[in-house]
């Protein structure tokens, strides 16, 4: 790996003030489809810094029946790596896994940051859950969310309650009914530079909430439909490149049509929900992206098909002359086949010969000539391992 790539990788993976965040992905308020089974991560284990609020015993297991390894003084900072049972927290102590009671620690407030490059941790509700105006059941219910809902938590309140952000309003939920998926196999991070042309967006790297590309323009290429919708938009550089690609393919007797380019976050929410309703979550996640993790939201991707409009977004497109032409020439215009055959375990998605992603000519030629994926270009590591 070159020094430049290492520098880029290091920059992407170093969290800046870890926020205790629970992702919330919804089109309207908290009424979002059950989201479960979030896949593994390439980012490594997520951690939080807590402070002991009293002299505190560090034990070998999550109960007072377990052996004391060490006693730390009030004010000691602890690195918490996960949640155990009965309100106990898993900590890392001198390379050893140990446990502390959550009654005697609080989140280090300096860890809370709104920086969009911060690594995030997925939490989901484990039951239908009330969002309240304050940290107790005596407070008014703002709304009730379904089991499996993902929430954005901005801090820790008293008595085991968590502070959440809801449409700019602060609400509270009981931590008894949320589950942290913060092991090395579950961490998702928000990309630090979403406007970067070669930005990596996948199941483990999401766009910042409410991200919209600033330079979206309508492409000049023909589509399978006539309406002037957002699906015809791409970022300006990618739009110019796809125009050149289409023009050259036509000169060579290969006619192409656009199927779908940019997709807003709201559209991705609605689309993903419809797939889950039709096929169930476990199947939908193999071919559709969770909102915020879709490449279409970057404005740098486009699905294409042959000039006859047949096999649009279907496996049969892979056997067409158009697909073969794209495999051979897409990189010359800065595009890669984003989800190639045989790389499903790396990308997390099935083979999609129709899905083009703009990364720039130099990177595209490197990736395509070496048979790599974008994940392998950056990390040489699978998102599913």
Q: Is the pLDDT of residue 48 over 90?
A: no
Q: Is the pLDDT of residue 327 over 80?
A: yes
pLDDT band per the 50, 70, 90 thresholds, residue 124: low
What is the structure's pLDDT at 210?
Answer: 83
Highest mean pLDDT (candidates 2-11, 40-49, 319-328): 319-328
**Mean pLDDT value across residues 78-95:** 78
What is the structure's pLDDT at 8?
Answer: 41
Of 115-119, 126-130, 276-280, the one with minimum mean pLDDT is 115-119
Q: Is the pLDDT of residue 108 over 70?
A: no
Q: Is the pLDDT of residue 235 over 90?
A: yes
pLDDT digits (tens, 9 = 90+) for 94-103: 778 888 887 7
Question: What percent of the chain stands above pLDDT 90?
Answer: 36
Sequence-separated (6 or more) residues with CB below 8 Å from residue 88: 62, 63, 99, 100, 101, 102
**CB-CB contact of 281 with 34 (8 Å):** yes
pLDDT band per the 50, 70, 90 thresholds, residue 167: low
**Mean pLDDT value across residues 32-48:** 33
Sequence-separated (6 or more) residues with CB below 8 Å from residue 367: 331, 336, 359, 373, 374, 377
Q: Taking the CB of residue 166, how many other CB atoms lie within 10 A of it? A: 18
Distance from C-alpha of 216 to C-alpha of 231, rounded to nearest angstrom: 11
Specify the pairing of strand 352-358 against strand 301-306. antiparallel
What are the Cα distances from residue 101, in Å, to 77, 158, 309? 14, 14, 61
What is the structure's pLDDT at 251?
Answer: 97
pLDDT band per the 50, 70, 90 thresholds, residue 4: very low
What is the structure's pLDDT at 145?
Answer: 80
Q: Is the pLDDT of residue 151 over 90?
A: no
């Amino acid at each position: 790996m070159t020094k430049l790539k290492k520098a880029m990788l290091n920059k992407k993976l170093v969290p800046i003030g870890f926020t205790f965040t629970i992702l919330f992905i919804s089109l309207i308020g908290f009424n979002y489809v059950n989201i479960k089974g979030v896949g593994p991560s390439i980012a490594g284990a997520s951690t939080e810094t807590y402070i002991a609020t009293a002299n505190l015993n560090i034990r070998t297991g999550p109960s007072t029946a377990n052996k004391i390894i060490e006693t730390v003084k009030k004010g000691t900072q602890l690195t918490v790596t996960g949640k155990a049972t009965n309100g106990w927290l898993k900590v890392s102590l001198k390379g050893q896994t140990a446990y502390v009671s959550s009654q005697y620690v609080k989140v280090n407030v300096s860890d809370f940051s709104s920086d969009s490059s911060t690594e995030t941790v997925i939490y989901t509700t484990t039951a239908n859950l009330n969002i309240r105006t304050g940290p107790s059941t005596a407070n008014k219910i703002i709304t009730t969310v379904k089991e499996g809902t993902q929430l954005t938590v901005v801090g820790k309140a008293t008595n085991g309650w968590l502070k959440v952000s809801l449409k700019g309003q602060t609400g509270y939920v009981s931590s008894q009914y949320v589950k942290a998926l913060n092991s090395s196999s579950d961490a998702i991070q928000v990309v630090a530079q979403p406007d970067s042309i070669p930005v990596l967006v996948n199941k483990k790297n999401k766009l910042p909430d409410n991200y919209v590309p600033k330079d979206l323009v309508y492409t000049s290429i023909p589509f399978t439909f006539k309406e002037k919708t957002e699906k015809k938009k791409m970022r300006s550089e990618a739009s110019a490149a796809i125009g050149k690609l289409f023009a050259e393919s036509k000169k060579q007797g290969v006619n192409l049509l656009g199927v779908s380019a940019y997709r807003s976050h709201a559209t991705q929410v609605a689309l993903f929900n419809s797939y889950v309703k039709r096929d169930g979550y476990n199947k939908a996640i193999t071919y559709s992206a969770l909102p915020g993790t879709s490449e279409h939201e970057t404005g740098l991707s486009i699905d294409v098909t042959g000039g006859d409009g047949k096999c649009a977004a279907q496996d049969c497109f892979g056997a067409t002359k158009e697909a073969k032409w794209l495999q051979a020439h897409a990189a010359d215009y800065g595009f890669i086949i984003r989800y190639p055959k045989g790389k499903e375990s790396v990308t997390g998605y099935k083979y999609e010969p129709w899905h083009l992603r703009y990364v720039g000519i130099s990177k595209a030629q490197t990736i395509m000539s070496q048979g790599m994926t974008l994940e392998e270009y950056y990390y040489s590591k699978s998102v599913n391992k």
